Structure 1
Amino acid sequence: MDLKELITFRTIVEEGTFSKAAEKLHYSQSTVTNQIQRLEKELGIVLFKRGWNSELTESGRIYANEVNMLINHWNLVIEKAADLKEEEIGMLRIGVIESLSDLVFANTMKRFNARKPHVSCHITVGNTDMLSRLLVDEEALDFAISGEPEDLAGLHHEHLYSESIQFIVNQEHELARKMDLGIKDLLSYTLVTGGPNCLYRLQLEREFAKREMTPFFHSISQLSAIPAIISMTDFVGVVLSSTVIPDGVVRISIPLENQLLSIGVLRRRNRDFLSGVKQLFLDCLKEELGVIKQEQGLK
């Protein structure tokens, strides 16, 4: 029994005659007849009364009631096989925030490639706002590793670890020599942060909104470039705990009411599950994060 025989049987039932079924399926009538004869032989029952009207036997009527279910199941099996094949040779479209790409992504790719060498990964690096829009508006990503966006409509965020907002200055900066600093001590300095839609920038602005004044901001979309700017100026840089800082730049401790950012898996809410290959990539990421947590004390 194969799918063609089932479809031919269903088409005869729908069209009423062998000849009309043959015409609809673009088969010769002898092909249709042969397919039904093979099906009857495989089933061990007679499906049609012999004659010009293609009238179903009692067994044929019972089988006709089940044929759609059989065809649907057959198609489902074929689709599943295609999915399995795709998972061995397909492509993943992954969004990543810049801090993660520097922190763990190279080793995650290495782990994943060892297990799925023929699955291609297309990586888009951006901030949380950009990645969430790509997920929702354009469906250009399968999932993203990012912060939790302000607007979660249509999205689901699964926490993986936390980043903290931190401040950096040139080691010769006067703030580098001061203790017990607070956010008020930043008001008279120029700050360099991520772009206006960057999550930690928005979080920082909410902190300053509680003050009578706000410091002057420069912004740059490439977070990893901030330490280099700070090394050459008397500005104060705002970065994340994972940001690598060069010699000559130091971190200064300034507590905030809300210092932590949740980093996790961002995906469309209508996708209740991830395919095996996507879940495998996330498992590789979590394995690498486990190593990083041990080394750097991430929460």
Structure 2
Amino acid sequence: MDLRALKTFQLIVQHGSFIRAAEEMNYAQSTVTMQMQKLESELGVQLMERGRTIKLTEAGRLLYGQSLSIMRDMEQLEEDIAGLQKGSAGHVRIGVTEPTASFRLPELIKWFLDLYPRVRVSIEFGNTPHLSGRLLAGELDFALCSAPEVGSGLYFEPLFREEFVALIPAGHLLSAKPLLTPVDFKDHRLLITAASCPYRQKLEAAIQESGGTRPDTMEIGSMTALKYYVLSGLGIALVPRITVEPAPEGTVIRELGGTLVDMVFGLLTRSSGHFAGSAAGRLIHYLRDELGEGLPGSLPGD
């Protein structure tokens, strides 16, 4: 069905005149007549009884009622497609690790959606290996996380450093030291995240490099939950500073030395420059501006 003919049919009904419809569509009256004849031929029914006044047949009344929603949907579709082309509309699927997901992203997403209200954003939480797999499968547009494993085939752009500190129960033996290094954790229970967590892997490597023995550990599945287990006196934890400032009552923060000070986080995508002109590209550009600290280097994962 010709949508232009359908629009012309609507105008004929609204104005009650072929001439007025032709003027509004900037058509010759003969063109309008031919459109209506073709429309009736395609549908196999008479739509209008022509005379001094135009009267709709039952089929015409049915078509007119249905055509209003059809044209609204088409106009919305055209507007949405134009928005996609301009990057002001669309659906962006993001993967995010903690603590960025809970402590940095909510307010940034709100600001972005205030600027682009026709963009829809879905956010998936996970660790870097999980999000890398989702990206490779095409199930995410990009991720905010730590660097992937070498050879992942993904493209990593560093944005900022996540600074870590030690969170210790008040009165703990280590609370008397202003600066802690890996060897200080010997003989103390260390609360750690899951084995797949990149920071836990970095922590274990740093302890091994320092010549220290593996400390007593207790695995806690959520990085953001660690502070509550410290508060309960179950041990000490190395946590992102952003998650514990100010320190929860009953705990103290101590600085870390050696190689335990920070970890780089950034944008993970399937390729560099893949989203030019899209809503995902606009969001990536926005996050670069808000989170970027001018860290050197963009790292292809292959």
Question: Do both share a fold (TM > 0.5)?
Answer: yes
Counterpart check, 1:150 vs 2:156 = no
User: How many matched pairs?
Assistant: 211
How far, CA to CA, are the matches of 2:151 and 2:166 in structure 1? Answer: 28
Cα 1:218/1:284, change in 2 over 3 Å? same
Cα 1:260/1:182, change in 2 over 3 Å? closer
- Give the SS at the match of 1:94: strand
CA shift digits 1:93-133 (9 cap, x unpaired): 00111111222212111111112112111100112122112
Identical columns (%): 27
Cα 1:288/1:148, change in 2 over 3 Å? same
Counterpart check, 1:264 vs 2:263 = no
How far, CA to CA, are the matches of 1:263 and 1:179 in structure 2? Answer: 26
Aligned to 2:248: 246
Deviation at 1:179, TM superposition (A): 4.2
Give yes or no for contact 1:169–1:234 (8 Å, CA) kept in 2: no
Give yes or no for contact 2:84–2:279 (8 Å, CA) kept in 1: no
Stretches of structure 1 that go unaligned for 5 or more consecutive residues are 1-80, 294-299
Aligned to 2:176: 177
User: Which residue identity does 1:280 align to in structure 2?
Assistant: R
Deviation at 1:287, TM superposition (A): 4.2
Q: What TM-score, normalized by structure 2, do the two folds share?
A: 0.63
User: Which residue identity does 2:195 align to in structure 1?
Assistant: P
Stretches of structure 2 that go unaligned for 5 or more consecutive residues are 1-79, 294-302
Aligned to 1:20: none
Give yes or no for contact 1:192–1:218 (8 Å, CA) kept in 2: yes
Cα 1:99/1:152, change in 2 over 3 Å? farther
Aligned to 1:204: 203
CA shift digits 1:225-280 (9 cap, x unpaired): 00010001140112122223422221122312353211110011376444431122
Give yes or no for contact 2:192–2:217 (8 Å, CA) kept in 1: yes
Aligned to 1:115: 115
Higher RCO (CA 8 Å, separation ≥ 6 residues): 2
Q: What TM-score, normalized by structure 1, do the two folds share?
A: 0.64
How far, CA to CA, are the matches of 2:149 and 2:138 in structure 1? Answer: 19
